[in-house]
Amino acid sequence: MNDTIDQPTKLRRPIQPTAAASGGEPDKAPSPRALFLTVFPSIMLPMFLAVADQTIVATALPSIASNLGEIERASWVVVSYLIANTIAAPAYGRLGDTFGRRPMMVVAVTIFMIGSVLCALAPSIEWLTAFRVLQGFGGGGLMTLSQALIGEAIPPRERGRYQGYLAGVSVSSSTFGPVAGGYLTQAFGWQSIFWVNVPLGLVAVALVLRLQARPGDRRRTTFDIPGLFLFIMFVSPVILALEELQQMQSSTMPMAFGLLAFGLLSLATLVWQEARSTSPLIPPSLFKEPSIWRSDGLAACHGAALVSLITFLPIYLRAVRGSSPEETGLMLLPLTFGIGLGSLITGQIVTRTGRTAVFPSYGLPAATLGLLGLAFFTSRLTVAELPWAWGVIALCMGTVMGVVQLTVQAIAGPRRLGTSAAMVQFSRSVGAAFGTAAVAAILFAILAVTDRDTARMFGTIIEQGPEAIATLAPARQAVVQAEIGDAFRAAFVTIATFTGIGSLLAWTMPLRRV
């Protein structure tokens, strides 16, 4: 208990100048402007590649499936990257702590570029899936090492501002990805979405090499191979199970639950292994810190809520409001803009005040109330009013990720920056996968229980557009729309549950100032 109480006091100590290697005068600290111009571009571009790639490929997926055939396997192009990305994150965090984060970032970008070239040359969907795994092994280090490099190069009080900048880059990348993916695919073919990563990757390597080289902790050269193997045995089945559960098909349920059971058994074995290892991949001591495990839980809840919202709002607009794809894209802009703006504002205030957990402590309850309002009063809002409501909710949700990263980095210390950043990224990825699967399961289960004809019509509307409902009698149209609206009400309540749990974690966070 005393360690937890004393931690903020330790973190508020002024940072002393670093002594020169010769043991003489302290190094002159760079100006804030020079630090920004050196650090921010070097970490911004790798993060942009990591985030934009996923949304670009998702947009081009129909064209890929049409060109290579076997459309039923097209989803593997996305799932394989997600699995490899999630597995690689803690490995890069651990290796970055040992061998230095700058060289590991160069390795990650290089692997990402090689994977991109092979993806562009893939002759079949099977080869493309395999090369996406390689690309994912590179991409897994981009986000993790970007966050760790912030903690390495930036003083603790300044990190809030940079975390806000990175959140803005992440949201901008998510918004830019579908636009770029659609344009590149239509103008140059789907292969171009992978070729474009090569020049961007070369620029990213050049920018990363501008960063100051800092040695890793070479005392930790032993790598936890059994831990990595068990981590793979945990992540792969769980993500595959969650993907299967989203389909809500009775034929896939036994396999999904079998995979989930195997993943949980692997998790239990992983916990046992990490407790015995002298150099664990995921140090159990990190999770003994209340602020760290609460931060990881908060990242999972935030990922579950935000990704579910971004995933299902377009479906809601198409099925219930009859919006076209172009209209849907415009209506979602306030959502993505609100997340970025909330992150930027939070980062600036954290830097000036040093306060951290207070922002999600109020932001997430406000987001929860907004989501509940969407669930029960969205039918009263016009199509023009909906985007503003989403923008306010997103503004509140933007108070989370920068604070989470800053809290974890402050407690983990410089020796384990990579490991701590990787665990936040892992928690967010798993939370996003679980949250999307849970919302999909509830949405389709309610539709199936209410009326199987409505459930079938819902699938037809998603495939053919809102004009499909025009084939029904007027009275039946009203019933179908009302039943689909009720199912989405339950979906919004589920998303609000995620932010509600996150609110409790934020309010009980011991570390509230750095």
> Model confidence at 3, in pLDDT bands (50, 70, 90)?
very low
Pull the structure tokens for residue 256.
Answer: 């999904």
Q: Is 292 exposed, middle or buried (0-12, 13-18, 19+ CB in 10 A)?
A: buried
Which of 248-252, 322-326, 341-345, 456-460 is modeled with the greatest confidence? 341-345
- What pLDDT shows up at residue 69? 67
Pull the structure tokens for residue 487.
Answer: 């199912």
Which of 181-190, 383-392, 493-502 is modeled with the greatest confidence? 493-502
The yes-or-no verdict on residue 257 having pLDDT over 70 is yes
User: 50-91, pLDDT tens digit by residue?
Assistant: 877 777 887 777 677 777 766 556 667 877 888 888 888 888
- What pLDDT shows up at residue 90? 86
8 A C-beta contact, residue 298 and residue 288: no
Q: Tell me how far apart the alpha carbons of residues 487 and 468 are, in angstroms, rounded to a whole number.
A: 19
Residue scoring higher pLDDT (371 or 310): 371
The mean pLDDT of 158-185, rounded to a whole number, is 75
User: 130-170, pLDDT tens digit by residue?
Assistant: 899 999 899 888 888 888 888 777 877 777 778 777 777 77
Q: What are phi and psi of 183, to 5 degrees?
A: -65, -50
Helix (H) or strand (E) holding 6: helix 2-11
The mean pLDDT of 433-440, rounded to a whole number, is 83
The mean pLDDT of 266-273, rounded to a whole number, is 88
The yes-or-no verdict on residue 204 having pLDDT over 80 is yes
> Model confidence at 217, in pLDDT bands (50, 70, 90)?
low
The mean pLDDT of 192-205, rounded to a whole number, is 91
- What pLDDT shows up at residue 311? 77
The mean pLDDT of 292-313, rounded to a whole number, is 88
> Model confidence at 248, in pLDDT bands (50, 70, 90)?
low
> Model confidence at 124, in pLDDT bands (50, 70, 90)?
confident
Residue scoring higher pLDDT (261 or 453): 261
Percent of the chain topping pLDDT 90: 17
Q: Which residues pair with 19 in a beta bridge?
A: 26
- What pLDDT shows up at residue 16? 41
The mean pLDDT of 487-496, rounded to a whole number, is 91
- What pLDDT shows up at residue 463? 59
- What pLDDT shows up at residue 15? 38
> Model confidence at 374, in pLDDT bands (50, 70, 90)?
confident
- What pLDDT shows up at residue 24? 43
The mean pLDDT of 255-273, rounded to a whole number, is 87
Q: What are phi and psi of 26, to 5 degrees?
A: -65, 150
Q: Is 464 exposed, middle or buried (0-12, 13-18, 19+ CB in 10 A)?
A: exposed
Q: Which residues pair with 355 in a beta bridge?
A: 513
The yes-or-no verdict on residue 371 having pLDDT over 90 is yes
The mean of the pLDDT values for the chain is: 80
> Model confidence at 509, in pLDDT bands (50, 70, 90)?
very high
- What pLDDT shows up at residue 451? 66
CA nearest to 14, candidates 148, 157, 150: 157
The yes-or-no verdict on residue 249 having pLDDT over 80 is no
- What pLDDT shows up at residue 85? 86
Q: Tell me how far apart the alpha carbons of residues 57 and 306 are, in angstroms, rounded to a whole number.
A: 20
Q: Tell me how far apart the alpha carbons of residues 242 and 340 are, in angstroms, rounded to a whole number.
A: 28
- What pLDDT shows up at residue 71? 58
CA 276, distance to chain mean position in Å, is 30
Beta strands in 171-238 (DSSP E): none
The mean pLDDT of 229-240, rounded to a whole number, is 84
CA nearest to 431, candidates 183, 259, 219, 238: 238
When mean pLDDT is compared across 293-297, 313-317, 364-368, 479-483, the lowest value belongs to: 479-483
CA nearest to 212, candidates 154, 276, 164: 154
- What pLDDT shows up at residue 158? 77
HSE-CB for 376 with a 13 A CA cutoff: 7
- What pLDDT shows up at residue 4? 39
Q: Tell me how far apart the alpha carbons of residues 240 and 228 are, in angstroms, rounded to a whole number.
A: 18
CA 69, distance to chain mean position in Å, is 30
SS3 of residue 19 by DSSP: strand
Residues in the chain: 514
- What pLDDT shows up at residue 113? 94
Q: What are phi and psi of 31, to 5 degrees?
A: -65, 155
